Amino acid sequence: MMAGLLEQPAHGQKRRAGVVALAGLSLLALAGFLALPWPLEEKSLAALHGLCAQRPSHSFWFAGSRLPFDARMTGIYGAFLLTVGYLAVAGRLRRAGLPSLPILAFLAAGVLALGIDGVNALLQDLRLPTLYEPQNWLRFVTGAWTGTLLGVVLWIAANAVIWRPEANSLRAVLDGPRDLLVLGLLSTALGWLAMSGWRPLYWLLVLFLVLAAVTLLALLALPAVQLLRRREQQVEALVELGWPATASLALACAFMAATSGLRFLIEWMAGIPSLP
């Protein structure tokens, strides 16, 4: 009994240390990114270089500066972050149940729409007949549609692996059409801001997209970290995720740096010109 009493403070200290480590690494990564001695556009393009083609003609511009993701990836990553943010705020933290079939079908249709739009754009690049004239706003819409599905799927996968099963775990992560409406309005607002070209928004949108990329990669890594630790379905409190989340954040940043560096190296060695 005495050993159990002594164990509890030790566990509490370890959990608090994990939260402090996560906060510290987050602040360090942000400060390091902002402190790099290059313009924000160059830093953000370099940070996300391994995740996106970054074609200038497919990007949204703000008075001579472009967003680090092209229009389609802006939709995918932006809608992903809006989706997981909404699910967290709406109290769906432990839910891992699939949405209803009609909602799943609607979200899955976004992948089909993205595929059609992507093939249509490829046909234009190959100077072949197209179904319609490719537009950046369509790239964003199909990307955001797919990004919403991606956010839902990764949220379900992470919750199914992380949390100890309980009654709430079986509840659907989306309650119904109202959730789709809210997510659609959030993505619409993001699209309007991204297409506005209003220079004061540039900093906020760039940091939002970099955060979206880090969050997506970290959410992919978190269940894998728990599986490697053989700690799947054992977490009972959010504070227990401090150390696993810190490791996931470190992996996400390392992956971004590695993929960007590799692409820069390949482009330099092969003499590949920038895409138009």
Tokens of 271: 């003499």
Q: What is the mean pLDDT of the chain?
A: 93
Q: How far is CA 127 from the centre of its chain?
A: 33
- Report whether 23 contacts 239 (CB < 8 A): no
Average pLDDT over residues 179-200: 98
What pTM does this model have?
Answer: 0.94
- The predicted pLDDT at position 5 comes to 36
Taking only the tens place, the pLDDT of each residue in 214-273 is: 999 999 999 999 999 999 999 999 999 999 999 999 999 999 999 999 999 999 998 887
Nearest to 203 by CA among 34, 29, 31, 25: 34
Residue 4 confidence class, pLDDT cut points 50, 70, 90: very low
Average pLDDT over residues 178-189: 98
Give the dihedral of Cα atoms 40, 71, 123, 267; nearest 10 deg.
20
